[in-house]
């Protein structure tokens, strides 16, 4: 069973507008959530994260929102730029001290239209 | 400081052949991970090593073995390759510090099994 879900395989957004990527999870034990960005032929790179005790974390153009009651998180990118075109993965951490693992979603391909 | 390096970048195998994917990190990280990425499946954990001398199965371990050779190196072996193992393989590493949650990924190995 897929514990972390990204239901939109792809998303197209006009340059300068807001991009909103969504992620749902099923396990309430996850204690940390991360977003990764991946360009073709490269490894994923860390973008932003949020602890389960917070509901918002902001870093420049990127903001992650967490709604624990709905088991939902979203990544907002404002304003969107052509370099943001990539595949975005959300990931959730299982809190096993010293043995933490991440469970990844299936990814959303974001295309920014100039 | 190269981060996480993987060799080879590309490999083509015939069914039944064996090979070892190499991974090394120079960040003095305790934990290392092997993932595979398949279309529509996201990143799935194959094996991980929380510290030197320990290894554990992830979500999809069948058909693979691993060796944590030392703190720097974590190799993934396919003893008898099958077409279902055609995938892109990523190695990642992470510090033991729980305040640092991100995993750092290598550039990947693209494996095709004919």
Tell me the shortest Cα–Cα distance from A42 to chain B, in angstroms: 5
Q: Which 3-state string (H, E, C) describes chain B?
A: CCCEEEECCEEEECCCCCEEEEEEECCCCCEEEEEEEECCCEEEEEEEECCCCCCEECCCCCCEEEEECCCCEEEEEECCCCHHHCEEEEEEEECCCCCCCCCEECCCEEEEEC
| Residues B50, A99: C-beta atoms closer than 8 Å | yes
pLDDT for the residue numbered B101 = 81
pLDDT for the residue numbered A51 = 94
pLDDT for the residue numbered B40 = 83
B90 lies within 8 A of chain A by CB: yes
Is the torsion defined by CA of B68, B74, B80, B85 positive or negative?
A: positive
Tell me the shortest Cα–Cα distance from B74 to chain A, in angstroms: 16
Helix (H, G, I), strand (E, B) or coil at A12: strand
Peptide bond before residue A14 is cis, with ω within 30 degrees of 0: no
Tell me the shortest Cα–Cα distance from A82 to chain B, in angstroms: 22
Q: Find the farthest-apart pair of alpha carbons in chain B and give their distance in angstroms, rounded.
A: 43
For the residues B46-57, what does the mean pLDDT come to? Answer: 93
Close Cβ partners of A94 (under 8 Å, ≥ 6 residues apart): A27, A29, A30, A31, A100, A101, A102, A103
Closest residue in B to A102 (Cα) is: B45
**What residues of chain A lie within 8 A of the CB of B45, using their CB?**
101-103
Least confident of A30-34, A99-103, B4-8: A99-103
User: How buried is residue A4: exposed, middle or buried, by Cβ count under 10 Å (0-12/13-18/19+)?
Assistant: buried
**What residues of chain A lie within 8 A of the CB of B41, using their CB?**
106
Close Cβ partners of B28 (under 8 Å, ≥ 6 residues apart): B71, B95
Quick one: tokens of B72? 């720097």
What confidence tens digit (pLDDT) does each residue in A4-35 have?
999 999 999 999 999 999 999 999 999 999 99
Tell me the shortest Cα–Cα distance from A14 to chain B, in angstroms: 25
**What residues of chain A lie within 8 A of the CB of B94, using their CB?**
100
Closest residue in B to A93 (Cα) is: B101
pLDDT > 80? residue B46: yes
pLDDT for the residue numbered B39 = 86
- β-bridge partners, A57: A64
Q: Which one of A102, A103, A109 makes the best mutation probe of the B interface by having the most chain B beta carbons within 10 Å?
A: A102
- Exposure string of A30-52, with b = 16+ CB inside 10 Å and e = fewer, is bbbbbbbbbeeeebbebbbbbeb
């Amino acid at each position: 069973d897929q514990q972390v879900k990204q239901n939109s395989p792809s998303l197209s957004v006009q340059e300068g507008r807001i991009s909103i990527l969504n992620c749902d999870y099923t396990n309430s034990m996850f204690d940390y959530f991360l977003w990764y960005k991946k360009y073709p032929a490269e490894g994923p790179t860390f973008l932003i994260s949020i602890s389960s005790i917070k509901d918002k974390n902001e870093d420049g153009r990127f903001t992650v929102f967490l709604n624990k009651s709905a088991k939902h998180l979203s990544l907002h990118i404002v304003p969107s730029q052509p370099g943001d075109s990539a595949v975005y993965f959300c990931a959730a951490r299982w809190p096993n001290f010293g043995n933490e693992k991440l469970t990844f979603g299936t990814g959303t391909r974001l295309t920014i239209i100039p | 400081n190269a981060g996480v390096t993987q060799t080879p970048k590309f490999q083509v195998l015939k069914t039944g052949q064996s090979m070892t994917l190499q991974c090394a990190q120079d960040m003095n990280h305790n934990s290392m991970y092997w993932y595979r990425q398949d279309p529509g499946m996201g990143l799935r954990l194959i094996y991980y090593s929380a510290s030197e001398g320990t290894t554990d199965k992830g979500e999809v371990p069948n058909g693979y073995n691993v060796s944590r050779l030392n703190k720097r190196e974590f190799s993934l072996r396919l003893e008898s390759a099958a077409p279902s193992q055609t995938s892109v393989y990523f190695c990642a590493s992470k510090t033991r510090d729980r305040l640092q949650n991100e995993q750092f990924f290598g550039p990947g190995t693209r494996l095709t099994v004919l």
